[in-house]
């Protein structure tokens, strides 16, 4: 079996959510080109529609016509989407009316306190299930005040929720995070004319109304990461992935791969609101690597792939300081370790990560995605790298629709 191809991956999920939300509160109509047609983004779009925002066109080119956010008639369904739930909690805290957010089983278990805590300090009115820890939550929007807040977790979702609330507050907000998380919100809003001062891991957000703009959304680096991994671990691979977002707060995975000795070429092509370019990957001889807490936020969604890379690298690979992985669509430490173990990996679970020994082989097994899109995709790549070299039916593989609806078609297309 040979792996060859020139592919594109779906548009960036984080940027897609933000383009919809920020254009919905802009001064005039905006244009979004290349929006992700994945389940999570569709949740955000439907919620904004329920709040009176008008959309015209399709996912290739969507026009957004903003208006004052209206109190919705019904509770708002976030499905599996943490980004919708967290960012919109920030936005609705500052709008007039009652907003009730709820999610699916997985999202209903994920922590919301991290978002409501700073918002409550800003004066928000929020009630939530399980003593305020989980969805469903009910928000009675009101005028908020600016605060100075130091978060103990590096989360772009929390930071973005606070930034959204700050836009409508009566004074600026200063927000500090322990390590820098992805900065799509800061970039986009600055581009839309909002004043945000950035100094290290601290930002100061000034209230204001974003100016309408045009968004061109690049390919999702986190989706590309599955093919980058496939290319470097497969013994006969040559892949080009085109037009991927290369925001430095997202691409720590590339630096880690370089440390592991991967044969990768980066071809920067330009910079719009976000830098983007092509990546070429080739079969590589890898060595083990250690990942620590400061690197985690900039590669949070790629960490399950590090476990798979570790199986095919010489020596030991370890991820530590990544307890956040336990609060994703599944507990990604436990789901990664348990599924790769079924395939024969020598991998051990840690409270905040995992350690894997580079044995260089896996075998096919009955696998389960744990209803998590990224675990389903990691396991499909892992299965193709077994001696049998084929993808079994993975229980819950349909969850790829969250971020990468045509993943299996693209994957089959590069196997020659
Ligand atoms: C996201 C931020 C990350 C990431 C998620 C999308 C975003 O979550 O895991 O897939 O769009 O802001 P945290 O910021 O909570 O770590």
Choice from 300, 322, 332 to test ligand 1 binding pocket (greatest atom count within 8 A of CB): 300
Ligand 1, pocket residues at CB < 6 Å: 14, 83, 155-157, 160, 181-182, 300-301, 324
The pLDDT value given to residue 155: 98
169 DSSP 8-state letter: S
Helices and strands, counts by H and E, the chain? 14, 24
Residue among 17, 156, 274 to mutate when testing ligand 1 (max atoms within 8 A of CB): 156
Q: Considering the domain delimited by 13-204, tell me its CATH architecture.
A: Alpha-beta prism (3.65)
Task: Choose the catalytic residue: 301, 331, 352, 372.
Answer: 301
Give me ligand 1 centre to Cα 298, in Å: 10
Report how far residue 137's alpha carbon sits from residue 98's, in angstroms, rounded to the nearest whole number: 10
Q: Which residues contact 82 (CB under 8 A, 6 or more apart)?
A: 107, 110, 157, 328, 329
- Gap between the Cα atoms of 182 and 108, Å rounded: 24
Q: Do domains 13-204 and 218-413 have the same CATH topology?
A: yes
pLDDT at 382 exceeding the cut of 90: yes
User: How much distance in Å is there from the Cα of 205 to the middle of ligand 1?
Assistant: 20
d(CA 249, CA 152): 18
According to the model, what pLDDT value does residue 272 have? 83
Ramachandran bin of 79, using left for φ above 0, alpha for ψ from -120 to 50, beta for the remaining angles: left
pLDDT of residue 5: 98
Separation between Cα atoms, residue 379 and residue 338, nearest integer Å:
11
Place of tokens 């836009």: 167
Domain spans of the chain?
Answer: 13-204, 218-413
What CA–CA distance (Å, rounded) separates 36 from 220? 9
In three-state form (DSSP H/G/I as H, E/B as E, the rest C), the secondary structure along 66-102 is CCCCCCCCCCEECCCCHHHHHHHHHHHCCCCEEEEEE
- Phi-psi category of 163—alpha, beta or left, where left has phi over 0 and alpha has psi -120 to 50? alpha
- Scan for tokens 């229980």, then name that residue: 395
Q: Is 125 in contact with 139 (CB distance < 8 Å)?
A: yes
Q: What average pLDDT does the chain have?
A: 98
| Predicted pLDDT of residue 130 | 98
At residue 198, the pLDDT reads 98
Q: Are 11 and 405 in contact (CB under 8 A)?
A: no
**Both structure tokens of 325:** 């992985």
Q: Which class is 218-413 in CATH?
A: alpha beta
Which pLDDT does position 139 carry in this prediction?
Answer: 98
- Closest ligand 1 atom to residue 300 Cα is 9
Q: Rounded CA gap, 53 and 23, in Å?
A: 10
The ligand 1 atom at the shortest distance from the C-alpha of residue 160 is 12
Gyration radius from the chain CA atoms: 21
pLDDT tens for 16-43 read 999 999 999 999 999 999 999 999 999 9
Number of residues that make up the chain: 416
Catalytic residue flag (residue 372): no
CA of 234 to the centre of ligand 1 (A): 29
Ligand 1 atom having least distance to the Cα of 301: 9
Extract the runs of DSSP E, i.e. beta strands, from 17-159: 30-33, 54-57, 61-65, 76-77, 97-102, 125-128, 134-141, 148-150
């Amino acid at each position: 079996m040979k792996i060859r191809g020139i592919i594109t991956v779906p548009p960036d999920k984080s940027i897609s959510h933000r383009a919809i939300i920020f254009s919905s509160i802009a001064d005039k109509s905006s244009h979004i080109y290349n929006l992700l047609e994945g389940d999570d983004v569709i949740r955000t779009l439907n919620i904004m529609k329920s709040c009176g925002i008008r959309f015209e066109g399709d996912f290739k080119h969507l026009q957004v016509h903003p208006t004052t956010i209206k109190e919705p008639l019904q509770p708002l369904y976030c499905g599996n989407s943490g980004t919708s739930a967290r960012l919109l909690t920030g936005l609705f805290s500052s709008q007039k009316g009652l907003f009730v957010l709820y999610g699916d089983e997985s999202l209903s278990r994920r922590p919301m306190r991290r978002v409501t805590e700073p918002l409550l300090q800003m004066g928000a009115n929020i009630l939530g299930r399980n003593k305020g820890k989980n969805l469903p939550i009910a928000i009675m929007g009101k005028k908020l005040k600016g605060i100075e807040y130091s978060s103990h977790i590096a989360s772009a979702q929390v930071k973005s929720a606070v930034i959204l609330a700050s836009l409508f507050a009566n004074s600026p907000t200063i927000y500090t995070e322990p390590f820098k998380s992805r900065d799509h919100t800061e970039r986009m809003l600055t581009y839309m004319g909002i004043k945000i001062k950035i100094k290290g891991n601290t930002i100061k957000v000034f209230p204001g109304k974003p100016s309408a703009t045009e968004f061109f959304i690049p390919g999702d680096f986190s989706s590309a990461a599955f093919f980058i991994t496939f290319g470097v671990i497969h013994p006969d691979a040559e892949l080009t992935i085109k037009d991927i977002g290369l925001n430095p707060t997202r691409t720590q995975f590339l630096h880690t791969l370089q440390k592991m000795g991967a044969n990768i070429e980066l071809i920067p092509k330009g910079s719009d609101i976000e830098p983007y370019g092509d990546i070429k990957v080739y079969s590589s001889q890898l060595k083990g690597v250690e990942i620590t807490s400061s690197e985690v936020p900039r590669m949070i969604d790629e960490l399950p792939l590090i476990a798979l890379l570790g199986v095919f690298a010489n020596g030991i690979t370890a991820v530590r300081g990544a307890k956040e992985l336990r609060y994703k669509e599944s507990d990604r430490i436990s789901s990664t370790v348990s599924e790769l173990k079924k395939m024969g990996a020598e991998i051990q679970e840690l409270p905040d990560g995992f350690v894997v020994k580079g044995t260089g082989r896996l075998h096919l097994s009955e696998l389960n995605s744990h209803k998590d899109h990224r675990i389903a995709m990691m396991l499909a790549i892992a299965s193709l790298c077994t001696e049998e070299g084929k993808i079994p039916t993975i229980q819950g593989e349909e969850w790829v629709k969250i971020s990468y609806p045509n993943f299996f078609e693209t994957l089959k297309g590069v196997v020659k």
